[in-house]
Amino acid sequence: MSTTVRSATEADVPAILDIYNEAILHSTATFDIEPQTLEERLQWFRETKHPHCVIVAEVEGGVVGWGCLRSFRARVAYRFTTEDSVYIHEDHRGRGIGALLLGELIGRAKKGGFHSVMAGMTEGNPASEALHRRFGFVEAGRDREVGYKFERWLDVVWMQLMLPPGA
């Protein structure tokens, strides 16, 4: 089965929402707790503008995963730093689709003129850690017990990929 990676369109947002809401409800991968509405996800999509982006992975015409580059922090001096997110439908994990998406996001981050890519992951997410390590991300810090979900405190581990100038 071949997998296609492409820029997302508004028509992809319902599938992106389903994958994200599953993660909200059943994992600590995101610190959102309530499922999002389609309207909220559409607003996020419309607000994500170049050099930030939303991309999807498609298998047999269906969206099975998505990724994005977004603002790391709002203050202007952070503008050359971006943060990635990658979410794969639970039935399609462990088949290299996350790697396809993250590879594409890193390529777009280089083209977009970013200096580094940050990835914040909740402690105990070996798949996300392995995915990022594979592309050269290294641990850059840890925020201790900054999240509280499913009745427990959670650390956020930061990984970072420095991008060579002019790449």
Ligand X SMILES: CC(C)(COP(=O)(O)OP(=O)(O)OC[C@H]1O[C@@H](n2cnc3c(N)ncnc32)[C@H](O)[C@@H]1OP(=O)(O)O)[C@@H](O)C(=O)NCCC(=O)NCCS
Binding residues for ligand X, per CB under 6 A?
23, 27, 29, 86-88, 93-99, 119, 121, 125-128, 130-131, 134
Minimum distance from CB of 159 to ligand X (Å)?
A: 9
Minimum distance from CB of 165 to ligand X (Å)?
A: 26
Q: Respond yes or no on whether the N-terminal peptide bond of residue 51 is cis (omega within 30° of 0).
A: yes
Nearer to ligand X, 113 or 158 (CB): 158
Q: For residue 26, what is the DSSP state?
A: H
Minimum distance from CB of 76 to ligand X (Å)?
A: 25
Nearer to ligand X, 96 or 112 (CB): 96
Residue nearest to ligand X (CB): 98
Nearer to ligand X, 46 or 133 (CB): 133
Minimum distance from CB of 101 to ligand X (Å)?
A: 8
Structure tokens at 126: 């070996």
Write a three-state SS string for 51-103: CCEEEEEEECCEEEEEEEEEECCCCHHHCCEEEEEEEECHHHCCCCHHHHHHH
Distance of alpha carbon 152 from alpha carbon 142, whole angstroms: 17
Nearer to ligand X, 17 or 121 (CB): 121
Helix, strand, coil % in the chain, rounded to nearest 5: 35, 35, 30
SS3 135: coil
Closest listed residue to residue 12, CA positions, set 53, 69, 52:
53
Minimum distance from CB of 49 to ligand X (Å)?
A: 22
Nearer to ligand X, 51 or 96 (CB): 96
